[in-house]
Chains A and B, each alone.
Chain A
Amino acid sequence: MLKKRRLAIAVLLALASALPACTRSKRADCASPEVFCVGLVTDMGKIDDKSFNQSAWEAIQRAQKELGATTQYIETTDPKDYPKNIGTFAEEQYDVVITSGFGLTEATHAAAEQFKGVKFIGIDQFQATQKPNVVGLIFPEDHGGFLVGALAAMMTKSGKIGGVLATDAVPPVYRFGEGFRAGARHVKPDIEISVVYHNDVGFDKTFTDPEWGKTTAVSMIDKGIDIVFGGGGKTGNGALLGAATKGVYAIGVDTDQYYTVPEAQKVLLSSAVKLITEGTFDLIKMAKEGKLPAGNFEGKSGYAPYHDLDSKVPPEVKTKMEELRRGLLDGTLKTTVPPTKDAKGQP
């Protein structure tokens, strides 16, 4: 009797483990050293979100073409599924698992602890502690902020520009905001700049308060500011929307927000972007060569195309922007923005 039951359980287990194999037809043998498998776990949202997820996936597709990688992605529909989705790739012994977005930092770390043979790339995930098999792709946000700050300073008619950002206690937000300030001052030392940070509610909530972002942007515009830089999740998006309702130029952050805030397309001058595709591809290539670093890896920042407003940007401004971009890239130009607010030693 006992034996029979044991047999039944064994058969059931065998069947169960065979099931996933049936569901995915092209199951690659990631465990073998010849096959290089790269998996992407998205943050909330689809693979074609025109933002972080899509940029990461484009890098992986490039790896498929140029490095012959076997690729697969899982779309996350609930933050509770982060560990499960990461685990799916890790258990199939993927060589590299990429998690896209700050929100997956903890889940990625936990998975790295559990699956020591798998390499993890965390996009936009700052590594406070170093793990041998995790690399965080971070970006010099101050470069992007610097560039769009310079752009705003060159494009303003009133001589007043403003930034509306989430809390400056979060280093990337601080670097965007202060980079913006530095860039504007660099091209026009006497410009009037107001940078407002949202510090009045709980830490994570400062990123999800579009109402505040809009109110703040409108208040700035009332006082003659004619270009608004909005940054920090949905709070920044609210600022872009405020600029759109008032009909003044707006500048976004992170990715090309022409696609993520369609309501602001008509006024969106550019965005301070993180070059996710490039940085992610570089890291995948290093992983393939067995040279993946641990800790933090700094990617690049830039600015997005002018889109609808391309004809409104004078050629000399475009030339200057390219000059600044190159200067920041080769290191001849420095933003002088400290990495965090505390590092500045404020009064």
Chain B
Amino acid sequence: MVYRRYAFIAVVVSVLVLVVVLVGASQVPPLTIVASMAATTLAVATPLTLGALSGVFCERSGVVNLGIEGMMLAAAFSGWFGSIYASAVLGIPPLPSLLLGVVIAVATGALLGLLLAALAVTYSVDQILAGTVINLLAVGLTGFFNRQLFFGPASAFGGQVPHAPGVLPRLHVPLLADLPVVGPVFEQQPIAVAAVVLVGLTHLVLFRTRWGLRARAVGEHPRAAATVGIDVVRVRYVNVVIGGAIAGLGGAYFTLESVPSFEPMMTNGRGFISLAAMIFGDWTPFGSWAAALVFGAAQAFQINLQLFRDQIPPSWSFLQQSSVVGLVPYLLTLLILTGVIGKTTPPAADGQPYEPEGRR
């Protein structure tokens, strides 16, 4: 990703933070505001980062993954249900139940990834449609099971929703977390930490390993890759399943790390925003992460500006309207995707089904 883009991101984030600091400085020390906004940004960016990484894995190998939203939603539900079942019915203590929930969520994502791979790679279904199928499937299935397992006559828990085992505990990053004021930024929950680690890991895998080179080759020119002996189908399957698993981890964030409850359609379009982040990040892990942080910062801006509503100077009174401030994340998405700072290029074979030679 070109440095112009990173610079743009840095400018946008700084402006967002600066505005809030200027408005709220009379009430709260600036450093506290910055630290709090950073914490919010990281938390909000977690599912977006994971969603975008999922997209990077899939699309770098040439499969468009429009089903991130659905994968996250399905994983959020299955992981949550698994953790509750483990703790309430099987009597497993909270932490192992939650970890089991995470495993189930990741597996759910991987399974949907396998479905996407089967549709897109084996059956050459239009990949836009294949992703849409997964989104619709996830909305329908989670809604149905949520009703049946918790409210329906055959409820797994006899009609009463049992206590959820809580959420994943905060990890204490030694030294950094003990710092005054900025300490809370380093006290993150495990999935938020995993997201950051996965950014680096994805970068290494894609750009520093043989597998990554092959995957990228398959995503750029599958026929050429095939002629040098790369198994295009296998590479795509593996990458899409990994992508699904990462989206599944993103789903786990909602119900196992953020709040111990599930709501139908609770991902609220974040899977699509993460696709936008991936595109703005030029299909690179670090770029996607940076873009996800912009969206996180926009959310933090939205929350914080409302918090300091009474401090907004009268000449800027339009910013006091919660509906105006609420638009900011979406306006930013629009601004970013319209290519204000240049175009990005997807992998050349992105979205094209691969037909092995002589199959026709």
User: Which residues of B249-267 have CB atoms within 8 Å of chain A's CB atoms?
Assistant: 254, 258-261, 263-266
Instruction: Assess whether B8 is interfacial by the CB under 8 Å rule.
Output: no
Interface size on A, residues (CB 8 A): 45
Q: Which residues of B contact A114 (CB under 8 A)?
A: none
Are the C-beta atoms of A222 and B265 separated by less than 8 Å? no
Are the C-beta atoms of A196 and B307 separated by less than 8 Å? yes
Are the C-beta atoms of B307 and A347 separated by less than 8 Å? no
Are the C-beta atoms of A222 and B258 separated by less than 8 Å? no
Q: Which residues of A contact B263 (CB under 8 A)?
A: 208-210, 234
Band of interface residues on B: 35 or more
Are the C-beta atoms of A245 and B261 separated by less than 8 Å? no
Are the C-beta atoms of B260 and A263 separated by less than 8 Å? yes
Interface segment, one of B50-58, B200-208, B280-288, B315-323? B315-323
A7 CA to B151 CA, complexed, in Å: 42
Are the C-beta atoms of A208 and B323 separated by less than 8 Å? no
How many pairs of residues, A versus B, come closer than 8 Å at their CB atoms?
120
Are the C-beta atoms of A44 and B147 separated by less than 8 Å? yes
Per-residue 0/1 for A204-226: is the Cβ within 8 Å of any B Cβ (1 yes, 0 no)? 01001111111110111011100
Answer whether A215 and B323 are a contact pair too, CB < 8 Å, given A200-B329, A210-B263, A262-B163: no
A347 to chain B, nearest CB (A): 5
B358 to chain A, nearest CB (A): 49
Q: Which single residue of chain B is at the shortest CB-CB distance from A177?
A: B322
User: Which residues of A29-44 have CB atoms within 8 Å of chain B's CB atoms?
Assistant: 44
Are the C-beta atoms of B323 and A169 separated by less than 8 Å? yes
Main secondary structure of the interface of A (DSSP, over half): mixed
Are the C-beta atoms of A211 and B303 separated by less than 8 Å? no
Are the C-beta atoms of A44 and B151 separated by less than 8 Å? yes
Q: Select which of A192, A216, A234 is within 8 A of B261 by beta carbon.
A: A234
Answer whether A77 and B153 are a contact pair too, CB < 8 Å, given A194-B306, A201-B269, A234-B263: yes
Instruction: Assess whether B93 is interfacial by the CB under 8 Å rule.
Output: no
A212 to chain B, nearest CB (A): 8
Instruction: Assess whether A78 is interfacial by the CB under 8 Å rule.
Output: yes
B190 to chain A, nearest CB (A): 15
Answer whether A219 and B300 are a contact pair too, CB < 8 Å, given A77-B153, A168-B322, A200-B327: yes
Are the C-beta atoms of B264 and A208 separated by less than 8 Å? yes
Q: Which single residue of chain A is at the shortest CB-CB distance from B169?
A: A245
Q: Which residues of B contact A77 (CB under 8 A)?
A: 147, 151-153
Q: Would you mind naming 24 contact pairs between A and B with Cβ atoms under 8 Å apart? A: A44-B151, A77-B151, A162-B307, A168-B322, A192-B27, A193-B310, A194-B306, A194-B310, A195-B306, A199-B322, A199-B325, A200-B326, A200-B327, A205-B268, A209-B268, A215-B44, A215-B299, A218-B40, A218-B43, A219-B300, A234-B266, A237-B261, A238-B259, A241-B259
**16 additional A-B residue pairs with CB within 8 Å, beyond A194-B306, A195-B309, A219-B300:** A77-B153, A167-B322, A168-B322, A195-B306, A198-B326, A200-B326, A200-B330, A205-B265, A208-B263, A209-B268, A210-B258, A214-B258, A220-B307, A222-B39, A223-B28, A223-B36
The 8 A-B residue pairs with the shortest CB-CB distance, nearest first, are A199-B326, A200-B326, A222-B36, A210-B259, A196-B306, A208-B263, A197-B322, A194-B307
Q: Interface of A with B (CB < 8 Å)?
A: 44-46, 48, 77-78, 162, 167-169, 192-201, 205, 208-216, 218-220, 222-224, 234, 237-238, 241, 245, 262-263, 346-347
